[in-house]
Structure 1
Amino acid sequence: MVSSIAAIFLLASCAGASLPARQDTGIPPDAVYPGAADPATQAGAKTLESSPPFYPSPWMNPGVLDWEDAYAKAKDFVSQLTLMEKVNLTTGTGWEGEQCVGQAGAIPRLGFRSLCMQDSPVGVRDTDFNSVFSSGQSVAATFDRGLLYARGYAMGSEHKGKGVTVQLGPVSGPLGRTPEGGRNWEGFGPDPYLAGVGMAQTIKGIQDAGVIACAKHFIGYEQEHFRQSGEAQGFGYNITESISSNIDDVTMHELYLWPFADAVRAGVGSVMCSYNQVNNSYACQNSKLLNNLLKDELGFQGFVMSDWEAQHTGVASALAGLDMTMPGDTVFNSGDSFWGTNLTLAVLNGTVPEWRIDDMAMRIMAAYFKVGLTLDEPPINFNSFTLETYGPVHASVGGDIQQVNWHVDVRGDHASVIRNIGARATVLLKNVNNALPLSKPKFVAVIGEDAGPNKFGPNGCSDRGCDNGTLGMGWGSGSANFPYLVTPDSALQSQALADGSVYQSILDNHAASEIEALVSQDNIVAIVFVNADSGEGYISVDGNEGDRNNLTLWNSGDDLIKNVSAQCNNTIVVIHSTGPTLVADWYDSPNITAILWAGVPGQESGNSITDVLYGKVNPAARTPFTWGPTRESYGTDILYTPNNGHGAPQEDFVEGKFIDYRYFDKHNITPIYEFGFGLSYTTFEYSNLVVTCANAGKYTPTTGTTAPAPVFGNNFSTNLSDYLFPNGSFPHIWQFIYPYLNTTDAKAASADPYYGKTAAEFLPPNATDGSPQPLLPAGGAPGGNPELYDVLYTVTASIKNTGKLNGEEVPQLYVSLGGPDDPKLVLRGFDRLSIDAGQTATFSTDILRRDLSNWDPVKQDWFISSYPKTIYVGPSSRNLPLSMPLGQALNQTLGNSTLHNVIDRRHKLSR
């Protein structure tokens, strides 16, 4: 419960009238961008949209802040490499080729161990003696930067202890356009600001632990259906190309690209391009995405790796900005590669310029050195393809049996971190008459399969591809092996026994008569556990091909809740799910006294929920998505049926940037529980909103040109015989991907029927141009133009704990950008404050230039419109007791800024 006090004021320096009306901006006509189009006419998506080319691929900038030392070391290393060693760095060794899910070739001559790429974003995948952490979506619900960082650091430490070089996470693709999206649980939710904070803090944690983080999946990867044509064919769909996510430029910048900008600004070492197409060009060869948006505009200095089998071309993907192919083979275990031998040939024949292969190698090695890795790293001590101590080094081939697993225990004290996050990520959605916290209840009845164990064990289903027992993790490559899974049944029973309570549980959703007989007894509190699962598209669970088929609870969970609450007037519901579920049919029942969303909590699940139910942790988490009354209320859905004949299914993002709460607000739909909502066992009061002008300087669009593309190392031989496989030096491993040629006949060595065409015949203009290139106005540094991150205002408010219990509160800052085509509100700040009973704390957050900006698709730069801006502070997106127009403060900033000295052009053409 939150109340507000009307003690709202603005510092004298910011006092004054609000922004002038649009029709009287006082801005001279020549300040308007020449030829500016109305962004509203360009918003939305178009079927069969095309993606414009952008070449050449931007080369690294060794002078970028925080990358200087890494690039100095990379230059020393790369300058010593031969062409084939550079190719080896960029090309995976093939599926099951070595110990990790992906490995790039080693450079034994310099003592450089193979790079190990390993899932997952919740723990080290396919090994043992590792932890399983809460999902990204769950930790996002904490709204706690410290916990986001702590989770990243702990995960990074475990990957480091196993010998991993690159942890394949964190995730902000999918962002969560559709609530049914199969992998939404891996990311941080559908709000780009929250997702951006989640990305940045997790990346900092992982990389501080000495492992390269990989931000994925770039970009527009918002559903599992049709993400790969071959996978879809396996499910019976007759398509020949992967789905195209058709996204307009404004939506791309203001929604989907936003968290990746935060990832780049945080110094992420690698980015994984996704399976899908964007505007009908595959993401891993889309020059607009990789060259223009990621490497040029966002100033990304690390390397781009493909998702596994997401590469579809050789030279084209190299020139479009791909730096590393994973796992290396065109099709798993085929022994064929778009790169390897073919990349060696492409450099030799000039279709891939020498500066591009050098840039690939430099980016990889700079990311390597940036996180503190050296040329003396300990060996990889696990094998992804067996848990046995002894087995084949090359699982795809067999033979050569030796020790491949050392069973190194990397868990440390991370169980306490996981338990703490799981509890602090639990959202209290309903609590009538202080039903919670529990205090030594007489009789506890726990009902539901989700409270108990998987009868086959916590790892009984490969990659967690089932929904048996309590849901601690979704399924797919984002999973890891549980060292154990504390079930709610076991943890609650231990608590009840300690309290002297009677405790009984029924772990069968369909045992109707037995459940009725138990919960209809007097003096009983019934806790019902239900779930809804999802995961990656290569696994189908109960007909759910990655994406959920609906938003109802699984295993008749909704009926279970209704049946129990019909018999028991003190029914508590706990939901484990990978996203929102439909609760409209039962949430307001007077017999349902409390509802909690416990997300996907990881290995300490039962302990975490017990800590909250019994008040050891006072809940303060906030739902990272909206709970709508119907499936249709979200305005988006999965494309379940191909819609383009046998070609690429076309998914038009016609809703633009209006997803989740933005869509609900735009269409005046009342949610069941709004984004950012969550209750506590105590109460808080908001007051004293203060906005302080930071007097930021003028915004200056970036100008100038780059240096020419650098080339490192000596000139290489063009004699093909110098690149033949060195027979006798070491054995040739079948299916292993090498940089060598097997013949001096270039066409035969390439296995490419089109080999021999000249660059002019198939390469886009400027694709190989290494001359100085113009800098983009919105670029200039990691994350974009550095002045986008200038602080314009500091906002503070007083938060008082008016209850009798110590607790935590999550104040949130929202901004109205004011335009008719803007969301009503967008999240632009938050914090999690610990406040003792009766005490007051200060919420403080900055508003950056970026936070108030819109994207101009004609000028290709950010601008602040002249529409009135209003800030709001409160405990959720629909409970905002404090508000204030920015007023004169923003006018002063507009007067000092070239970027801001423009009128909003969204309706210019109609005036």
Structure 2
Amino acid sequence: MRLESSVLALGLIHVAWSTPADPLSLPKQARNDSNDGLAYSPPVYPSPWMDPNAQGWEEAYIKARDFVSQLTLLEKVNITTGVGWMGERCVGNVGGVPRLGLRGLCMQDGPLGIRFSDYNSAFPGAITAGATFSKHLLRDRGFNMGSEHRDKGIDVMLGPALGPLGRMPLGGRDWEGFGVDPYMLGQMTGAVVEGIQNAGVVACAKHYIANEQEHFRQSGEATGYGFDIAESLSANIDDKTMHEVYNWPFVDAVHAGVGSVMCSYQQINNSYGCQNSATLNGLLKGELGFQGFVMSDWQAQHTGAASAVAGLDMTMPGDTSFNTGVSYWGSNLTLAVLNGTVPEYRLDDMAMRIMASYFKVGRTVETQPEINFSSWTRQTFGYLHPASEENWQQVNFQVDVRGNHAHHIRETAAKGTVLLKNNYDALPLKKPKFVAVVGDDAGPNIAGPNGCSDRGCLQGVNAMGWGSGTSEFPYLITPDSALQQQAIQDGTRYESVLSNYEWDKAKALVSQPDATAIVFVAADSGEGYLNVDGNMGDRKNMTLWKNGNDLIKNVSSVNPNTIVVMHTVGPVEVTEWYDNPNVTAILWAGLPGQEAGNSITDILYGKHSPGRSPFSWGPNRESYGVDVLYKPNNGKGAPQQDFTEGAFIDYRHFDKVAPNKGDEGAPIYEYGFGLSWSAFEYTDLVITPRSPQPYQPTVGQTIAAPSFGNYSDDLNEYTFPDDIRRIDQFIYPYLDTAESGEAASGDRNYGSTAEEFLPAGATDGSPQPLKAASGANGGNRQLWDVMYEVQATITNTGAAMSDEVPQLYVSLGGEGEPVRVLRGFDRIERIAPGQSVQFISQITRRDLSNWDTVSQNWVITDAPKQVWVGSSSRNLPLVGNLQ
């Protein structure tokens, strides 16, 4: 018989369901009386289904339709629900379809290499890769990382990271993204996504959206740190800022065809990220036309039916809390579909999105690679199901997937090193007589490069931050070892003191005649589940760790040629020493990965050209205008973090409050700044208008929601099979009993109907009107129409061959807009002395548009617009008007 009641646990948490006049609007400072005056996220339903004609997805859609149409209800639930934490070999696995030969998909971190594996590479942190400003290096990065994941048997690579964007300079995971500018981050992300998926692995863009700090991202984690809160933090963002800043790079990921998006832990306008219908249904799937699947972050799902109709497609790792064996989906999702709470088409669309993404990257069921590693042991033999300690077998096959990627890693880390100061031509080094290296950051971790779990410490060279976005080092070249090898090759005398606290020894060394002193210092951060020296993910201050400032000042007080190398996750305070004349050169080397020593040696000796800063260096933390929320501000309720600064973060903020170099609070080194080995002159700005068709809002309707059926009214067909042995803690799609819905779900409060708690329209599968700004793969296709082509001549007027990184900025004009925003860049390599090259950049309609909250569309305002071209956000010698 058909069940008439619904599953509990599928209720709604912190979502207001009264429909505002504009269902897509996230009005600035909107408040809802029914939610205690807090920021409000409006409901947007139903959850959009796939478009069979979406460009680039047509073939994948057909293959997915053919596959999913064969699946039973249980099989569809199986591929949407994780099997539980440590339920299988990967950090996340869903169930498979053995009948059709599909093993469960494997999801694995992460954004700089494979986590919990062996014989894999440790790439530079994304912030360092971003500092190269090289799209081809980022595309290569994606392909190399994708190929390593593929060859380990991984189906979905959990990266790249677009959120956090880097709103606050002390955000713990800022280093997992490529930089703080939305345009630059989007361009880099698009290149990486293309590379990953060309390698045959589904990329996962994360964390959607506004996930800007670690403090309070999960209430349970915060409670463990002693904070008395019951709900996770709410990031409160207005509609315009959401579109123009935080959603901007995700548009580029979707435009590049990304197969998966991971929703975030925290709330957005007081609705959890993985059940926020405004962001998932309205923005991501509705407006951007995202065709792939939405995956929850690990334990970021808070409801069952509510998250299903709000746009979640896959739950990770499957259990409500690690190792409980209980899931919001699994058997509960089976029952919710049978009793009509979750419409059949919604489950079909979940399965379609997952399988279309799988087929889109070139995979087939017949050629799915075997998983040849285990996340939970480095030994050859272990448990196939570690949570329950069952099925002992070979789980690791020690497959070496590194290829020749070390060369790419070394080049990227070198070209992502930023030369901030270089007085008296201190660099590059040319067979110096005596090199004296000082600092813990130049040496090894005595416990080994992987001696701290998930890199949760700072011992030795800081080559990556900490948390789930890390990888195991196959080896780690320290600066001390690489510089010593270079010194031997050059016949240079070399000594080092690998401590920040052995000052007497260090002073005796660096004060000797002819000593070129190189001081290595660091600052670290990472994910919030690890607390390193009082830094609960987010940094607690902007200073160098281990008395790094004092070390620099001490060395420079006795050595007139002091070179500073900083391995940091972001900006640090340099005010006390950066302009000391004895500090002749300053390098930011970011998080360089396994080739740390070789890459910094390559830059110090001029074998590669340096990069440009992907963030601004303010004089102090207060100068940025925003900071981490370190203490709850809403009693025991969700801490409220209002993004009242709007678009004014990083250089946009500095341009507003301190536009001139001498102004109080002006950045010491601006966004995009970096010295090269030569001097360059910018001339001959040419702006050529194009003539695209006038912008037309999208009109029409979607198709009706496809549904493939294959369901039975007989509950006996959905109970646990007699011929399958139940694995403890493993999540299954089967019902426990066919006696009644209450018994089948195990739900004590079973009995509410869908109409009693699901919002209006949540189960409507009829054709839906298209949004004016919508379109497959990122929105209205006309947003990518080219409006202008800009060209400039760049001439090397110096004496050395070097790379140059031209940047194009645009003023959108109008009250309340940033002075200028980045809208183009390139890395032009190996420009010879006297050589002139052309920088050509296209400005699209999207690049010139603002989000209009009334029409809910992109518009080009009548305000005057200008374009600048130069070498940083504040060194822009060429300026022209856009007619």
TM-score normalised by the shorter chain: which range applies?
Answer: over 0.9
1:393 is paired with a residue whose SS is strand
Deviations 1:870-889 (A, max 9, x none): 000000000000000113xx
Structure 1 pair 734–326 and aligned structure 2 pair: CA distance change class (3 A):
same
Which residue of the partner structure matches residue 878 of structure 1? 874
CA distance in 2, matches of 1:452, 1:748: 61
1:871 is paired with a residue whose SS is strand
Which residue of the partner structure matches residue 267 of structure 2? 277
Which residue of the partner structure matches residue 4 of structure 1? none
Which residue of the partner structure matches residue 499 of structure 1? 490
The answer on 1:781 being equivalent to 2:772 is: no
Question: What amino acid does structure 2 have at the position aligned with 1:862?
Answer: W
CA drift at 1:408: 0.3
CA drift at 1:713: 4.4
- 1:29-68 alignment, distance < 5 Å: 42=28, 48-68=38-58
CA distance in 2, matches of 1:41, 1:114: 41
- 1:746-895 alignment, distance < 5 Å: 746-834=741-829, 835-887=831-883
CA distance in 1, matches of 2:836, 2:708: 59
Question: What amino acid does structure 2 have at the position aligned with 1:359?
Answer: D
CA drift at 1:399: 3.4
Report if aligned partners of 2:124, 2:591 keep a CA contact under 8 Å in 1.
yes
Question: What amino acid does structure 2 have at the position aligned with 1:114?
Answer: G
CA distance in 2, matches of 1:335, 1:192: 40
Q: 1:102 aligns with which of 83, 92, 97?
A: 92
Report if aligned partners of 1:309, 1:329 keep a CA contact under 8 Å in 2.
yes
What is the TM-score when the length of structure 2 is the normalising length? 0.95
Report if aligned partners of 2:29, 2:39 keep a CA contact under 8 Å in 1.
no
- 1:81-480 alignment, distance < 5 Å: 81-376=71-366, 377-480=368-471
What is the TM-score when the length of structure 1 is the normalising length? 0.92
**Any unmatched runs of 5+ in structure 2?**
1-20, 659-664
Which residue of the partner structure matches residue 31 of structure 1? none
CA distance in 2, matches of 1:861, 1:43: 20
Which residue of the partner structure matches residue 518 of structure 1? 509
CA drift at 1:865: 1.0
CA distance in 1, matches of 2:251, 2:391: 45
Deviations 1:172-218 (A, max 9, x none): 10000000000000011210001001110110000000000000000
Question: What amino acid does structure 2 have at the position aligned with 1:777?
Answer: A
CA distance in 1, matches of 2:164, 2:746: 35
Question: What amino acid does structure 2 have at the position aligned with 1:540?
Answer: N
Which residue of the partner structure matches residue 20 of structure 1? none
- 1:75-86 alignment, distance < 5 Å: 75-86=65-76
CA distance in 1, matches of 2:751, 2:786: 55
Report if aligned partners of 1:446, 1:529 keep a CA contact under 8 Å in 2.
yes
The answer on 1:740 being equivalent to 2:734 is: yes
CA distance in 1, matches of 2:814, 2:572: 32
CA distance in 2, matches of 1:829, 1:43: 32
The answer on 1:638 being equivalent to 2:632 is: no
CA drift at 1:743: 1.0
Deviations 1:465-494 (A, max 9, x none): 000000001000001100000000000000
Structure 1 pair 353–772 and aligned structure 2 pair: CA distance change class (3 A):
same
Report if aligned partners of 2:27, 2:239 keep a CA contact under 8 Å in 1.
no
Which residue of the partner structure matches residue 540 of structure 1? 531
CA drift at 1:752: 2.7
Which residue of the partner structure matches residue 689 of structure 1? 685
Deviations 1:843-871 (A, max 9, x none): 00000001111111121101111110000
CA distance in 1, matches of 2:332, 2:142: 37
Structure 1 pair 302–41 and aligned structure 2 pair: CA distance change class (3 A):
closer
CA distance in 2, matches of 1:87, 1:845: 47
Q: 2:667 aligns with which of 652, 671, 674?
A: 671
CA distance in 2, matches of 1:194, 1:279: 26
Deviations 1:631-680 (A, max 9, x none): 10000100011111111111111111110001111111411000000001
CA distance in 2, matches of 1:780, 1:615: 47
CA drift at 1:433: 1.2
Question: What amino acid does structure 1 have at the position aligned with 2:686?
Answer: V
Report if aligned partners of 2:27, 2:238 keep a CA contact under 8 Å in 1.
no
CA distance in 2, matches of 1:315, 1:402: 37
Question: What amino acid does structure 1 have at the position aligned with 2:858?
Answer: W
Structure 1 pair 568–156 and aligned structure 2 pair: CA distance change class (3 A):
same
The answer on 1:721 being equivalent to 2:721 is: no
Structure 1 pair 41–648 and aligned structure 2 pair: CA distance change class (3 A):
closer
Deviations 1:288-310 (A, max 9, x none): 00000000100000000000000
Which residue of the partner structure matches residue 7 of structure 2? none
- Percent identical among aligned pairs is 64
CA distance in 2, matches of 1:752, 1:281: 24
Report if aligned partners of 1:45, 1:656 keep a CA contact under 8 Å in 2.
no
CA distance in 1, matches of 2:648, 2:692: 30
Deviations 1:98-130 (A, max 9, x none): 000000101000000110000010001101000
CA distance in 2, matches of 1:573, 1:731: 61
Question: What amino acid does structure 2 have at the position aligned with 1:411?
Answer: R
2:385 is paired with a residue whose SS is coil
Structure 1 pair 548–325 and aligned structure 2 pair: CA distance change class (3 A):
same
CA distance in 2, matches of 1:425, 1:791: 30
Report if aligned partners of 1:44, 1:251 keep a CA contact under 8 Å in 2.
no
Report if aligned partners of 1:44, 1:656 keep a CA contact under 8 Å in 2.
no
Report if aligned partners of 2:454, 2:468 keep a CA contact under 8 Å in 1.
yes
CA distance in 2, matches of 1:163, 1:713: 31
Report if aligned partners of 2:263, 2:294 keep a CA contact under 8 Å in 1.
yes
Question: What amino acid does structure 1 have at the position aligned with 2:192?
Answer: T
Aligned structure 1 segments of 4 or more residues deviating by more than 3 angstroms: 39-47
Report if aligned partners of 1:44, 1:653 keep a CA contact under 8 Å in 2.
no
Structure 1 pair 407–136 and aligned structure 2 pair: CA distance change class (3 A):
same
Q: 2:575 aligns with which of 584, 595, 608?
A: 584
Report if aligned partners of 1:353, 1:768 keep a CA contact under 8 Å in 2.
yes
Deviations 1:600-656 (A, max 9, x none): 01000100000000011122x110000001110000100011111111111111111
CA drift at 1:43: 7.2
CA distance in 1, matches of 2:29, 2:253: 25
CA RMSD of aligned residues (A): 1.3
